[in-house]
Structure 1
């Protein structure tokens, strides 16, 4: 078991966002989190990456309790990459400098080593010629691929993707989804929050439906998306179908 979330609870004031949520992820598995806005998908990813502190429960990575207060968050984040729907690239820095900033400044890796690895990844995703460009010279799809590369340069054990296509124009979604599909083929363990149900069906090994901060239903994509057990899951998917997104 690579990732194990057990009875994770998170509240913001009187609002319960994660309600004793439990979810396990095996190595090389891709799990898609689906659910309405406010169901807890993004908060769960932020808690796993230690950007948001949980109120109760345990998150384990490779069996280690990473939510123990004595754990160094920066050391954990070297093993867990997180990509947001907004690219969060520094506009005044080139693509290459954006990618190598954390490895060099935070993780103290030699600059040449960091640059060589960044260029290797950029070449793999077809963006080597953009290494000296600034983010505003790139399309949204290119910026998101750069953001994913930035999360991959530390060779993470786990990659978290938070609605990485939601800010893109429809014609740019495909290039990002292709990159994620390629990562799955290489065995990358991923947990992704998505509204792209068709993509979840294609790429995920398992789909988990979140409702009111809990995993209400989970299973193979064809079962959860095609023949859900829970009435609430069926209601959610009916709305997705009405919107033409499944």
Structure 2
């Protein structure tokens, strides 16, 4: 068995008196594709934000590549430099070109020379089918194109773990497929990912493990075929009856 890329143990997170994550345990091995499913407000996005050190946790331990990154003394910028995250909104810098958006972190955070960073960025743009948009600004792109650029930006630093937070939620239905196709290719290439998604058929297709969150807890987890065809928990069955086509 390969060494874990990510280990989350007994993670707890609250906002005032409201518990949003309770006793979360999660292990991610190299090459895993972990899909987080559950209703809005179940804690999926908060879990990803805690892993990326964008949220302070109340209790528990987060280890990334063998380092306890939940230690408050850790260099968060350095840790995030080894992670990639894509959000629901594209968060591209509107005043920068596509090429500059993708090369910003490699150059400014990792000290990569401009020529090398741009070469890598052009390779990624070719991969996502947007080579001709290198000099365009984000407002000249469709939502699907902007989200593909956001994926390329996250990949530009060659992260050990890619976190995807409902990346199709803000897209028109006809644009969802083009973004999911990129994620599908990444999974096939062995990219280690944890993604929160409402796309059930997609989760069933690409996940190595599905985790159903409810009320801030991982209520059920397992291989996608079992979760989607024979869930053990009644709450999981209720959720899937509501979201799966009849």
| Shorter-chain TM-score range | over 0.9
* Structure-2 separation of matches of 1:80 and 1:31: 15
Per the TM alignment, residue 234 of structure 1 is displaced from its structure 2 partner at its CA by 0.6
Q: Do structure 1's residue 82 and structure 2's residue 85 form an aligned pair?
A: yes
Give the conservation status (yes or no) of the 8 Å contact 1:99–1:118: yes
CA RMSD of aligned residues (A): 1.1
* Structure-2 separation of matches of 1:123 and 1:5: 35
Give the conservation status (yes or no) of the 8 Å contact 1:22–1:214: no
Per the TM alignment, residue 105 of structure 1 is displaced from its structure 2 partner at its CA by 2.2
- Match 2:234 to one of 231, 236, 240: 231
Corresponding residue for residue 208 of structure 2: 205
Residues 77-226 of structure 1: matches in 2 within 5 Å? 77-226=80-229
Give the conservation status (yes or no) of the 8 Å contact 2:81–2:109: no
* Structure-1 separation of matches of 2:214 and 2:50: 17
Corresponding residue for residue 34 of structure 1: 37
Normalised TM-score (structure 2): 0.96
Structure 1, residues 82-137: CA drift from partner, whole Å, max 9, x if none?
10010011112110111111222233222222111111111111111100001111
Q: Secondary structure at the match of 1:155?
A: coil
Moved more, 186-195 or 70-79: 70-79
* Structure-2 separation of matches of 1:79 and 1:92: 25
Q: Do structure 1's residue 6 and structure 2's residue 17 form an aligned pair?
A: no
**4+ runs deviating over 6 angstroms:** none
Normalised TM-score (structure 1): 0.96
Per the TM alignment, residue 175 of structure 1 is displaced from its structure 2 partner at its CA by 0.9
* Structure-1 separation of matches of 2:183 and 2:113: 28
Structure 1 unaligned blocks of 5 or more: none
- Match 2:63 to one of 60, 63, 72: 60
Structure 2 unaligned blocks of 5 or more: none
Count of matched residue positions in the alignment of Structure 1 and Structure 2 = 243
